[in-house]
Structure 1
Amino acid sequence: MRPSLLSLALALALPGAGSAQTTSTGPMAANESDGAAIELDPVVVTATRTARATSDVPNTVDVIDRQRMDDTMVNDLRDLLRYEPGVSVTAGVGRFGLGDIRIRGLGGNRVRIQTDGIAVSDAFTIGSFSNANRNFVDMDTLKRVEIVRGPTSSLYGSDALGGVVSFVTKDPSDYLDAGKDAYFGFKLGAESDWSGLSAGATGAFGGERWSGLVTVNHRQGQEMRNQGDDDARDASRTRPNPQEIDGRSVLGKLVYAPSANQRFKLTVEGNEDNTDTDVLSSLGFQSLTRATNLSVTGSDQQTRARISLGHEVDALSAGFADSFDWQVYRQDSETTQDTREVRRTAAQVNEQRDRSFNFDQRQYGVQANFFKSLSAGNVRHDISYGLDVSRTQTQQKRDGMVTNLDTGRTSNAMLPDVFPVRDFPNSRTTNAALYLQDEISFSEGGFRLVPGVRIDRYELQPEVDAIFAADNPGVAVVEVTDTNVSPKLGAVWHFAPEWSLFGGYSRGFRAPPYNDVNIGFTNLMFGYTAIANPDLKPETSDGYEAGVRFTGDATYASLSGYYNRYRDLIESFQFVGINDEGLQVFQSRNVADANIRGAELKAGVDFGRLDPRWTAWSLRGAATWSRGRNETEDLPLQSVDPLTASLGLAYDRDRWGAELAGRFAQRKRDMEQLGLYATPGFGVLDLMAHWNFAPGARINAGVFNLGDRKYWESGDLPNGIAVGGTAVLDRYSSPGRSLSLSFTASW
């Protein structure tokens, strides 16, 4: 069943919808006559849970505001992070599209992804027909994205082992400034790389007490193009498989402000994406099964819906807090994937195989954050503390049926499975946490010390039903209860008016996942079984970072180095021996230790602030170098990107602007130590422009990969490709030259 909240949320959506544009401002934004210049010291919230200028934050944080998303024509996660070296998005070919977000080489469920403070559902994959990702956010509903690099469990708990990606959705106040009490806007867009079309609308209203917002979006298109030209109908195919893609979203907010210092906010959000794929690359003779596939099609759907009620108080002046906020929420996420194969077996039997995969998570939670400032002489304490309690119900099931097309006989036995099956029991996880942080300012803010700690209580309760018990006879499941303490200590020293040093230590952890603790897979015919591991320990990390920043009147720069040590990383389905029945036994285990180290550079200059003759010209760039090592096996980590960089030269006035941006990567040489293909280095140029041709009307255009360069993102190759297995390499290549257009109007 589709999540019940989704039907409520999407009932508001129209067949064609999108969002209009907003313009973000910051503490050092240029005036209107200069256009949208570089924001030299933007305010961030995610890094410390308090609004702080980047120069006062003791770690590396990236901020992408709405204006930047519009100027660079962001339509999906990969577009969003296109110019952020060190943060990447993997992509899969075949049918499943974008994968996970990696921060400094760590990805998957080891990176916390949240929307308005609420974590999105987990990723889960098993086999070739089952892949639930975390791509649940519509970019046109966002006003800002903040990315904290490195372990952040001291504030956000489990799953923040690699970092945090925080999406912040739009509010009515983003449209109703300067006494405006109503707003309407719409957006139309097109992209050639996936033949995509999008449309959307935003409406907002506001008064002295009440305000509201509704944003609806719709998008449709076809398969993402690549640089392959072999359209064979078998495994040698390098062109993309044909796809039909359709998606929609809705965001609604209702805000009641009983006074100028407090607000109640009701939010309803829903997303739905559907993809139908003709999997031509899976046709033909299959060496593993000795069968010949005549037809393979896939139908995938993913949905997410959430409803939340929040309360913000800005000026409380009470003994326990100067301000606070809280929210309660429910979020339902579901992925359903259906696959149909028509094939001729080695025995010349014509049969049809139908498989269905379902992954469903339903989450309830409450969050509360309190803020108090105290002063004693020349020392100021900005104290943050709060609680975070959530309960998540997770269910997964695979089902299937094989039909003999010659006789009409059907069966649920499809080796090695007898359907339906669950790969782990239905699981209920409860997380309860308390955190405390003190931002201690000395010498009127010249030196800041930021200690913090979070205590997490994690409980896992499996629920064995008839399906799991039938597929895993005699397999015992275990409950897990664990308490984890995550400290941190950061510091910022403004040793000169425009210069500062920053750095610190942060502990990270990830609780043992339900699907690793209680693996459920027994196959008597092939002689193996998977068993629970009651002794599975949390994954942990120790992160160290230090750097220097310069924030001047016209320029900014930041150079930092980091070292992250990861211990007890969990490897799933590891062989551990033979049991008394002669079955091979597999179990998830804490076996991997790893380290990732690197250096990051970000810089920019607004030339108009240096010389009025260069008004509206700006330059920004970033580069990341990193290396990762699996210390258990003394091998390089495949997930760590090579040296990458970006550089953009922009001209931006009131009416129009343009930017020439480059993306660069070094050859991934360390893969050669694993006997794998090393993705070549590349340099790609993009050209983007916008024109405000009338009040409230804007056109954006972009040409990406101007030189039509054939290149591969390092994270797009599936677990690496052997040096001698590059015949289908073009299948994983990025799109060639592509065009993106959008038109927005508002009043």
Structure 2
Amino acid sequence: MRISPLSLAVCLALPGVAAADTVAETTSDAAEFDRVVVTATRTERAIADVPNTVDVIDRERMDTLLVRDIADLFRYEPGVTVGRDFGRFGLSDIRIRGLGGNRVRIQTDGIAVSDAFSIGSFSNANRNFVDLDTLKRVEVVRGPSSALYGSDALGGVVSFITKDPSDYLGDGKDAYFGFKLGAESASEGLFAGATAAFGGERWSGLVAVGHRQGKETENMGEIGGEGSARTQANPQSTSGRSVLGKLVFAPSQIQRFRLTVEGNEDDTDTDVLTSRGLQALTGATNMLVTGDDHQSRARVAFGHEATGLSSALADSVDWQVYRQDSRTRQDSVEVRRVPSGATVIRDRREREFHFDQRTWGLQANALKSFATGSVVHDLAYGVDVARSETKQKRDGRRIFLDTGAVTNVMLPDVFPVRDFPISETTTAALYVQDEIQFADGAFRLVPAVRVDHYRLSPQVDDIFREDNPTTEVVDITETRVSPKLGAVWHFSDAWSLFGGYSAGFRAPPYNDVNIGFTNFAFGYTAIPNPDLRPETSDGLELGLRFAGDAVHASLSAYYTEYDDFIESQRFIGFNDQGLMVYQSQNVADARIRGAELKAGVHFGAIDARLDGWSLRGAAAWSEGEDRTTGDALASVDPLTATLGLAYDNDGWGAELAGRFVGRRDRLPPPPTGIDSYYESPGYGVLDFYAHWSFAPGTRVNVGVFNLADRRYWPAGSVPLVSENSLTLDRYTASGRNVAVSLSVEF
């Protein structure tokens, strides 16, 4: 067997390259790029034929890595970061190449999850709405993807794909049942799930249920007690439930109807000990601060797939209609002692935050293959139509414990309030993509374009109007054309070049367009901005792939420019009443550039005596700056890499995986009063995994994380804080911890 010396050197000479590549175990490295993905081109394509960087994490890999949340999911994916807030709200956004929040599209079975929204210290609606145990695969498209997915795909796409009955049935098997039990020490978590599937000639179905519970995720802070000096995690109690049901009817071999019902909810109770004690800004002493947070998502979808059609317009079509409801409710309680002259007022402050989003939608896609001479075309086209209604409200009351008096005045608010009016957004889009194959498929050109029409219609109700009596809300209508051009050239049996240009955009958000509140006591007001422009991006990428029998590698470089970033609630001056005026505006441009590498070696293909041994690696370097000021972007990660050595056979396997991160030394300049921001140091952490199938249909997975019990600060968890802060240990990761699971299948 002949192996390219260059390709072998590329994989073995990288000290920081990574383990935990996100594909299942295979017997040939060439098969690593034969994995079929859908998200990158909205058609089923092998990774080797995709003109941009895409990651795939399948069910087997998630089980091996004992994935419980999105932080676990992307632990070994340099360039993809999950943020975490200290205190109460936990995991926040997913960042791809330094861009996160609502600028990354997160979808489940093609349906976008709801938006994130936060305001103040007591309100934070995140997008962590998916139970990962219901998934069979996760696909990540890095870089602008609006040519296929429209608004919010400015930075990339994270696509969650749920289980199907066909994943468990076939080859004469008409029924399946399996369950999984597990525990983890970092949060004292317990989880359990069960999946049942049945099928016949025409009908098949699946039901998957899950339950999870735990406590706060530990860090390595050593200061306990109450007050702002506390560095240990605040005490929490968490629980969650999920259900996924699918019913499939196949009237013929070329048609399939699918009904999907999905529900997921999570509850978190927090005793916010860090907020107890004397509050310097108000002079009050907090005796008790608690949070009760609940979020849920429910989805119903009905779809149809047809293949093998004899039509001049399409060889295959698929469509689905859906409704999705996402809700966040967060209740906060403060019990305080407030000095007032010679007396002390005892009061109880109760706050409620609601953020609800309901979406109806239709998606339809078609694929037609045809040839013009020696050139083969795979033409994909489709429509996306969605209408969302978004409601946000904050409510509260102040109870004077000595007198029993109750008031809805809690400065600077007079409750209830809406920070933006009830907003209805309608999007309608048409996309077209042509995958053009030349030279018997050796060269593939992929042009695509999408036209999006976006309309925002605010609805002013009494709650918004009472708090904003003179604010004039505005409608917005935008049409945006997003092009893309990709190419793949297989210039030899094992080598290929890929890359291209892609555009991204994000429509002006409803809360930035029509934000509105006035506070005369504190002398400020926020006003709408009908002239907000969409945020846009232009990305270039170029990469090289090698897929041999023993070695695989993919190296890519990218450069992306972002224009018209929106800064929310920017101070713009004073009005005629002397109030400070705040307004969301397009003020910032940015650029992010970087390089990414994935590589691996299957040693059994080199020497049969090494069968079962493999080395996997990944690394990412990136650099970002504000083009307006020249300052560094804090959201861009330092150099990150992973490296792992694994052994696997039919009955058992083990893997030693390392995570390596450089010093976070590119930060923007701090404001007046802070000498410099804290630069989290670089680190290296080792994890160990093992699995054992001790009987047919059974499997035990064990993971030991942070083997050396090292204190380190994950870049995605450290906010911009002073280097002289006395509470830096708040943002440390967990020390040595263990997770285990048992799965049984019948």
TM-score normalised per structure 2: 0.95
Where in structure 2 are the equivalents of 1:134-149 lying within 5 Å?
Answer: 134-149=127-142
Where in structure 2 are the equivalents of 1:503-582 lying within 5 Å?
Answer: 503-582=499-578
Residue 292 of structure 1 is matched in structure 2 by 285
* Aligned mates of 2:26, 2:620 — CA distance in 1: 26
Residues 275-304 of structure 1 show CA distances to partners (whole Å, capped at 9, x for unaligned) of: 001000000000111100000011000000
Residue 493 of structure 1 is matched in structure 2 by 489
* Aligned mates of 2:190, 2:137 — CA distance in 1: 23
Residues 419-438 of structure 1 show CA distances to partners (whole Å, capped at 9, x for unaligned) of: 00000000000000000000
1:440 to 428, 436, 443: 436
* Aligned mates of 1:128, 1:609 — CA distance in 2: 56
Residues 55-109 of structure 1 show CA distances to partners (whole Å, capped at 9, x for unaligned) of: 1111000001111111111111000000000001001111111000000000000
Contact kept, 8 Å, 2:184 with 2:190, in 1: the verdict is yes
Identity of aligned residues (%): 66
Letter in 2 for 1:709: R
Question: Match of 1:225, SS?
Answer: coil
Contact kept, 8 Å, 2:23 with 2:57, in 1: the verdict is no
2:271 to 278, 303, 318: 278
Contact kept, 8 Å, 1:672 with 1:678, in 2: the verdict is no
Contact kept, 8 Å, 2:276 with 2:286, in 1: the verdict is yes
Residue 718 of structure 2 is matched in structure 1 by 717
Residue 8 of structure 1 is matched in structure 2 by none
Given the alignment of the two structures, is residue 206 of structure 1 paired with residue 199 of structure 2, yes or no?
A: yes
Shift of 1:583: 1.1
Residue 159 of structure 2 is matched in structure 1 by 166
Letter in 2 for 1:380: V
Question: Match of 1:179, SS?
Answer: coil
Given the alignment of the two structures, is residue 425 of structure 1 paired with residue 424 of structure 2, yes or no?
A: no
Question: Match of 1:535, SS?
Answer: coil
Contact kept, 8 Å, 1:548 with 1:559, in 2: the verdict is yes
Given the alignment of the two structures, is residue 386 of structure 1 paired with residue 382 of structure 2, yes or no?
A: yes
Residues 221-278 of structure 1 show CA distances to partners (whole Å, capped at 9, x for unaligned) of: 0000000010020000000110000100000000000111111000000000000010
Letter in 2 for 1:456: D
Residue 233 of structure 1 is matched in structure 2 by 226
Question: Match of 2:730, SS?
Answer: helix
Letter in 2 for 1:183: Y
Shift of 1:25: 9.4
* Aligned mates of 1:261, 1:658 — CA distance in 2: 42
Residue 396 of structure 1 is matched in structure 2 by 392
Question: Match of 1:635, SS?
Answer: coil
Letter in 2 for 1:544: L
Residues 592-645 of structure 1 show CA distances to partners (whole Å, capped at 9, x for unaligned) of: 000000000100111112221111111110000000001112100000000000
* Aligned mates of 1:195, 1:562 — CA distance in 2: 41
Question: Match of 2:52, SS?
Answer: coil
Contact kept, 8 Å, 2:30 with 2:549, in 1: the verdict is no
Residue 68 of structure 1 is matched in structure 2 by 61
Letter in 2 for 1:722: S
Structure 1: 4+ residue segments shifted above 2 A: 28-31, 36-41, 671-675
* Aligned mates of 1:100, 1:177 — CA distance in 2: 38
* Aligned mates of 2:697, 2:315 — CA distance in 1: 39
Residue 653 of structure 1 is matched in structure 2 by 649
Contact kept, 8 Å, 2:714 with 2:733, in 1: the verdict is yes
Shift of 1:186: 0.6
Letter in 2 for 1:430: T
Contact kept, 8 Å, 1:296 with 1:341, in 2: the verdict is yes
Structure 1: runs of 5 or more not aligned: 1-23
Where in structure 2 are the equivalents of 1:25-424 lying within 5 Å?
Answer: 29-30=26-27, 39-347=32-340, 348-424=344-420
Residues 37-63 of structure 1 show CA distances to partners (whole Å, capped at 9, x for unaligned) of: 983431111100111111111100000
Residue 13 of structure 1 is matched in structure 2 by none
Question: Match of 2:588, SS?
Answer: strand
Shift of 1:307: 0.3
Contact kept, 8 Å, 2:108 with 2:162, in 1: the verdict is yes
* Aligned mates of 2:470, 2:139 — CA distance in 1: 47
Letter in 2 for 1:711: Y
Shift of 1:447: 0.6
Contact kept, 8 Å, 2:23 with 2:61, in 1: the verdict is no
TM-score normalised per structure 1: 0.95
* Aligned mates of 1:42, 1:176 — CA distance in 2: 21
Contact kept, 8 Å, 1:421 with 1:471, in 2: the verdict is yes
Question: Match of 1:470, SS?
Answer: helix
Residue 741 of structure 1 is matched in structure 2 by 740
**Which stretch of structure 1 is more off in the superposition, 188-197 or 551-560?**
551-560
Shift of 1:346: 2.4
* Aligned mates of 1:737, 1:722 — CA distance in 2: 27
* Aligned mates of 1:742, 1:29 — CA distance in 2: 23
Question: Match of 2:339, SS?
Answer: coil
Residue 594 of structure 2 is matched in structure 1 by 598
Residues 516-564 of structure 1 show CA distances to partners (whole Å, capped at 9, x for unaligned) of: 0001111011111111101000000000000111011122101110001
Contact kept, 8 Å, 1:46 with 1:166, in 2: the verdict is yes
Residue 686 of structure 1 is matched in structure 2 by 687
Q: 1:25 to 1:704 in 2, by over 3 A?
A: closer
Contact kept, 8 Å, 2:32 with 2:552, in 1: the verdict is no
* Aligned mates of 1:668, 1:513 — CA distance in 2: 31
* Aligned mates of 2:460, 2:279 — CA distance in 1: 36
* Aligned mates of 2:653, 2:23 — CA distance in 1: 17
Given the alignment of the two structures, is residue 703 of structure 1 paired with residue 704 of structure 2, yes or no?
A: yes
Alpha-carbon RMSD across the aligned residues, in angstroms, is 1.3
Letter in 2 for 1:78: A
Residue 19 of structure 1 is matched in structure 2 by none
1:467 to 463, 469, 479: 463
Question: Match of 2:694, SS?
Answer: strand
Shift of 1:377: 1.8
Shift of 1:390: 0.1
Q: 1:451 to 1:329 in 2, by over 3 A?
A: same
1:626 to 611, 614, 622: 622
Residue 11 of structure 2 is matched in structure 1 by none
Residue 11 of structure 1 is matched in structure 2 by none
Letter in 2 for 1:30: T
Letter in 2 for 1:708: D
Contact kept, 8 Å, 1:350 with 1:406, in 2: the verdict is yes
Residues 675-715 of structure 1 show CA distances to partners (whole Å, capped at 9, x for unaligned) of: 21111100000000000000101111010000001111112
* Aligned mates of 1:683, 1:455 — CA distance in 2: 45
Residue 5 of structure 1 is matched in structure 2 by none
Letter in 2 for 1:543: G
Shift of 1:317: 2.2
* Aligned mates of 1:734, 1:523 — CA distance in 2: 40
* Aligned mates of 1:346, 1:634 — CA distance in 2: 46
* Aligned mates of 2:669, 2:86 — CA distance in 1: 25
Letter in 2 for 1:29: T
* Aligned mates of 2:44, 2:716 — CA distance in 1: 33
Residues 163-202 of structure 1 show CA distances to partners (whole Å, capped at 9, x for unaligned) of: 0000000000111121100011111000000000001111
Contact kept, 8 Å, 1:356 with 1:400, in 2: the verdict is yes
Q: 1:607 to 1:40 in 2, by over 3 A?
A: farther
Shift of 1:145: 0.4
Letter in 1 for 2:713: W
Shift of 1:673: 4.7
